[in-house]
Chain A
């Protein structure tokens, strides 16, 4: 187990370097960011040159990358164009997004899995058909439509929530945005669980468990669910990263000053330091989440052991 973890951690290094290099190059290909700093006019050449020097943009790209990586290892993620250190931006953005992600994941786990189990056990019944249809609707409607609709109904028409989240973004204000963010994944989790449960219900070990005379809830939770969750856990694990980085639409609709918003602004302003910094952290989150998922397999399925 320990050796497996070490091997996986070592594998992260090339993935990490490759991912950051790609992002770095992509942002650079977009062109000269300094030109956008002076409004609808040309920066005077002297100031532009000075700014380029300050942000290290006057050097060749490979050198910029090396300097950047060198700084990253000392904890310096550079400075955004408005003079704010990127670490400070991260310090305000990540807690908000993490809260949002936790809510979204909770929705996926609680609602998604419960619906999945219920429909999986009652396959073909009206409940099953109803939920299936509902998930189909949720999957086919784009997130921004769901978001704007809920915002308009709950926030403006009925006044149950504030349409915009305040800058502190506490948990209770993030419930509706979290639901919107989770909606599509939630539908997938439901469908995955349902299929998995329905399939395993007829397997030998479940029949054995029932034959032994175990109570129904014990059969379901200990035997059936535990084995059926492997694909679901895989999905949720990779979804953590996707939710954190992919919340751009939801964050803009609900005025959440999180990672998605900072990335969006970084891309618009072509701010390499912000974009690469945030993406680097997201890459790390992805890698760690994947590792945790793989380790969870062993817990869930006794047949899987890492040597």
Chain B
């Protein structure tokens, strides 16, 4: 196997550079890890510049996850937000938070992580002139409207008035509304601290990002490869169990998978849909398929009167009951998705607000009832529904066709539903933004942080950033506001669930299925897991 030796040689060369040993004896026992060995992993070219507040997709997020640690960290198993750099976060009114940063943390260039590191980073992320795609994460902080005017006019301030440094390791955050679960959002990448180097020489930082996480960037060739190496002086308790990670950009996830099978790549964190049938054969139990915080739904254009008249909630409910979710997830997705029975995700856990069966019979396949409901609701607008989706990524065509097929069968009408593909994701998004949808359309949601709030407010609150269907409901909004003000977590979750019931009663969006994260790995690796964001927990991977 020329290919395999080739890869081992490369890995060894990298390991030698790190003055590590144990390269000669290939095919180790698999049990014990070699803390100096480097693994290779598939990667995609990040879409946006690699800055914490500018990264909103998984490929860039993967890197940030390795090179940054935030005030909180989401437990890779449970998703619970645990203190990382935060010594304590205190509040009396759920609006003003006093944050103390732990002592002893530095960036990998030696600079201390202080309260100022956070405040500077957050101000940078919020400021309109920096073009940060994730700026709206700071929208809860007082003074956001000054640094990021909604209408795109000139900003009248450069810093958020709600952020105040009160000591070397302490700062206060004042929000413009009560938001009791605010501390739990602070594990999100956008809230990462930034070193002075980021501001002093921004271009150099982008060439070789510097953070405070267990890995540091050793070498970055844009569009090709990023070599990350373990940072020896990392002060946290989640030190990397391996010598480093080489992220390799692949032109196609099928190629990455083939490379894994051939033994040239250690980890693929996106097994292509077409290969799911073979995966058991190819890599056996070195395949993981675990729930991730992703839900797929069908949203509706509520700006279109046809979908927003009395009785149309019956049509939507009827459509929901006409979809045989189980059959589609079994046959098309090979059980990498699970039929949805609420509007959140199982990764939240029951305490976090996930409630199986909240949707009730509206999410059960029932052709008879479906037919009746659609008829009661005045029939399908225009006699036909068109499900719009983007055809360029994610094998959406297959499931949209299957959903339509299911609807057609249930309603005994060959023309009840057709797919309406849009060429590119960008065009799909711009049609949604321009309110050009005339029927249901694909809506996917990957959580930013594991909170029930994140599955409801951005998607269904009036004029929220991801409320693509422009659904608006006073009762829902009131309940969300109430929940955000409740300091008792259990109580807040309960109120959010009440809000979710409002979504259900109106069938604001049809829940389809929960998406799993999937990954395959080589026999060199052990202890491979995916976190609830479907990103491999790199620092825990052991390489033999």
Contacts and interface: CB of A to CB of B under 8 A. Distances in A.
B150 A257 contact: no
B111 interface: no
A35 B426 contact: yes
B152 A50 contact: yes
A151 B256 CA distance: 12
A56 to B, nearest CB: 14
A46 B49 contact: no
Contacts of A279: none
A270 B427 contact: yes
Given A30-B426, A36-B430, A255-B255, A41 B465 contact: yes
Chain B CB count within 10 A is highest, among A31, A161, A257, for A31
Interface residues of A, number: 54
A42 interface: yes
A117 to B, nearest CB: 34
B56 A39 contact: yes
A31 B223 contact: no
Contact of B445 (A40, A162, A265): A40
A148 to B, nearest CB: 8
A181 to B, nearest CB: 14
B258 A152 contact: yes
A257 B49 CA distance: 19
B489 interface: no
Nearest to A43: B133
A45 B465 CA distance: 10
A32 interface: yes
Contact of A161 (B2, B129, B152, B251): B2
A209 to B, nearest CB: 48
Nearest to B263: A159
A268 B424 contact: yes
Interface stretch (A82-90, A131-139, A281-289): A82-90
Nearest to A160: B2
Nearest to A92: B223
B426 A31 contact: yes
Interface string A38-77: 1111111111011100100000000000000000000000
Contacts of A161: 2-3
A164 B132 CA distance: 35
Contact of B466 (A31, A34, A40, A49): A40
Interface stretch (A198-206, A215-223, A246-254): A246-254
B71 to A, nearest CB: 23
Contacts of B248: 167
Contacts of A81: 47-48
A46 B47 contact: no
Interface residues of B, number: 66
A257 to B, nearest CB: 6
Contacts of B56: 38-39
A89 B258 contact: no
Contacts of A264: 251
Contacts of B446: 39-40
Given A42-B466, A46-B151, A163 B264 contact: yes
Nearest to B3: A162
A37 B133 contact: yes
B392 interface: yes
A32 B128 contact: no
A118 interface: no
Given A164-B250, A164-B255, A45 B426 contact: no
A156 interface: yes
B149 interface: yes
B19 interface: no
A269 B47 contact: yes
Contact of A35 (B129, B148, B254, B430): B430
Nearest to B150: A46
Given A43-B133, A46-B151, A50-B152, A36 B424 contact: yes
B4 A164 contact: no
Nearest to A151: B258
Contacts of A39: 56-57, 446
A164 B256 contact: yes
Given A30-B427, A50-B152, A265 B45 contact: yes
Given A43-B133, A45-B151, A82-B49, A36 B251 contact: no
Nearest to A46: B152
A44 B426 CA distance: 15
Contacts of B4: 159
Given A46-B151, A82-B48, A270-B427, A163 B255 contact: yes
A255 to B, nearest CB: 5
Given A37-B133, A82-B47, A164 B150 contact: no
Interface string B241-272: 00000001111101110110110110000000
A239 B179 CA distance: 63
Nearest to A41: B466
B481 to A, nearest CB: 20
A267 to B, nearest CB: 7
Among all A-B residue pairs, the 7 with the closest Cβ atoms: A36-B426, A35-B430, A35-B429, A41-B466, A167-B224, A83-B49, A32-B430
18 contacts: A30-B423, A32-B426, A36-B425, A36-B428, A39-B56, A39-B446, A40-B443, A43-B433, A44-B148, A82-B47, A151-B255, A151-B258, A155-B3, A163-B3, A164-B265, A254-B255, A257-B251, A268-B425
Given A35-B426, A43-B433, 20 more contacts: A31-B427, A31-B430, A36-B424, A39-B56, A40-B429, A40-B445, A45-B150, A47-B133, A82-B45, A83-B49, A161-B2, A161-B3, A164-B250, A167-B221, A167-B249, A252-B255, A254-B255, A268-B393, A268-B424, A270-B427
Interface of B: 1-4, 6-7, 45-49, 56-57, 128-129, 131-133, 135-136, 148-152, 206, 221-225, 248-252, 254-256, 258-259, 261-262, 264-265, 392-393, 423-433, 443-446, 458, 465-466, 468
